[in-house]
Amino acid sequence: MKMRNEIVLIVLAIMFFGLVFKTATADPVGPNDIITENSEQGVIGGGPATEIEAEAGNVTQLTINASTLTNYWQGYYGNITGEIILSDASGNMMYDWTAGATGYTPVGEIYAANYSISNWGDVACVVLVGDGTPGSDGVNTTILEAMYGMDPNAGDGINETFTSTNDITIGTNTLVGCPATNTHVNNESQSTSFNETLLTENAVGTVIFATQVENDATGYDGNPWDFQMIVGENGDVEGTTTYYFYVELV
């Protein structure tokens, strides 16, 4: 089992240049750079035992509050910087519009896939109760939980996480009713910002986690962030899971 049994929170300062800021009709593209600013894990328990007095003849009700770190999920959060440019194929800029300086703020999505995407036109909603056949209903709950080593009865499994739905547009393709969730704001659950959608590239079974870009919205820790997201990770095996990040900003 991995020594880390936790949600790792990594600040990603994503630098976007060139054609990252583009029309909504183009497919998502990879960012030019991702900088890991910070990585940490929560501290749960580990203190001294709590003493309770036992007295003969008594029957005592106890309410015990004890949390545990997830073994199945990795967290990412951060901000987006960059610019809109007009340039030639060699990168020579005729003009640029720096994001923020001229009032431009990015809008769109960030995608994290467990494999590189070969055909964005084949991306579809995950059908949690589907048959799991590539090209039909793609991956389903059973396949996803096996992929990430999740106990089917775990409280932090796929069904227990993606409990709502969301519509998302990728290029010109709008997907309706995809499994979705929202990460926390101010250390509490909510349903209005930081939406995350569960997708798949059907033909090959690639899993895609897509999060909506915000603009300095209050995040999980009370600080302003442009995005927050969680991705699956099997904490019971050695090593890590590689994710391929794409952006679609307008």
pLDDT digits (tens, 9 = 90+) for 12-43: 444 333 334 454 458 888 887 787 777 777 76
pLDDT digits (tens, 9 = 90+) for 143-160: 999 999 999 999 999 999
pLDDT digits (tens, 9 = 90+) for 106-117: 789 999 999 999
How high is the pLDDT of residue 44? 67
Residue 1 belongs to some domain of the structure: no
Residue 131 belongs to some domain of the structure: yes
Query: How many domains would you assign to the chain?
Result: 1
Q: Quick one: which of 197, 245, 206 has its CA closest to 115? A: 206
Residue 104 belongs to some domain of the structure: yes
Neighbours of 44 (CB within 10 A): 12
Q: pTM to 2 decimals?
A: 0.83
How high is the pLDDT of residue 46? 63
Residue 237 belongs to domain spanning: 9-46+66-249
pLDDT digits (tens, 9 = 90+) for 64-97: 887 788 889 999 999 987 777 888 989 898 998 7
Q: What is the CA radius of gyration of the chain?
A: 21
Q: Is the pLDDT of residue 139 over 80?
A: yes
Residue 93 belongs to some domain of the structure: yes
How high is the pLDDT of residue 70? 87
Residue 148 belongs to some domain of the structure: yes
Q: Extract the tokens encoding 25.
A: 């009709």
Buried b (16+ CB within 10 A) or exposed e, 207-229: bbbbbbbbeebebbeeeebbbbb
Mean pLDDT of 202-206: 88
Q: Extract the tokens encoding 187.
A: 């250390």
Mean pLDDT of 219-239: 93
Residue 2 belongs to some domain of the structure: no
Residue 221 belongs to some domain of the structure: yes
